């Protein structure tokens, strides 16, 4: 079941949306780099690593407090949301 998945790698899959991401409630690592994504849905509170470079993002959603690593170069970002300060 997707509720138990901790890693989702959909990099370089020519996708344009991540509908259903909210069902991955245990997700710790998301790699959605090298696609045609224009937005990310709300991210799971368990997410620790987000790789989303080489897409078409102009903004990112609120980042979960659990986030430790963010890699989002080569997008069209004009600003970033608050970056969580994680002690790790």
Mean pLDDT by 10 residues, the chain (88 residues): 90 95 95 97 95 96 94 94 75
pLDDT of the residue at 3: 84
pLDDT of 38 reads: 96
Place of tokens 């909210």: 22
pLDDT recorded at residue 77? 94
User: What pLDDT, on a 0 to 100 scale, did the predictor assign at position 43?
Assistant: 95
Q: Which of 51, 48, 47 is nearest to 72 (CA)?
A: 51
Q: What share of the chain is helix, strand, coil (3-state, %, to 5)?
A: 5, 15, 80
**CA R_g for the chain:** 12
Query: What is the C-alpha separation between 80 and 19, in angstroms, rounded?
Result: 22
Residue 86: its pLDDT value, please?
66
- Give the predicted TM-score (pTM) of the model: 0.92
User: Do 51 and 71 meet the contact criterion of CB atoms below 8 Å apart?
Assistant: yes
């Amino acid at each position: 079941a997707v509720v138990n998945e901790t890693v989702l790698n959909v990099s370089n899959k020519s996708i344009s949306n991540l509908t259903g991401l909210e069902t991955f409630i245990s997700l710790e690592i998301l790699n959605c780099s090298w696609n045609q994504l224009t937005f990310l849905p709300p991210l799971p509170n368990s997410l620790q690593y987000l790789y989303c470079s080489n897409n078409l993002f102009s903004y990112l959603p609120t980042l979960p407090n659990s986030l430790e690593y963010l890699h989002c170069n080569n997008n069209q970002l004009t600003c970033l949301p608050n970056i969580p300060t994680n002690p790790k």
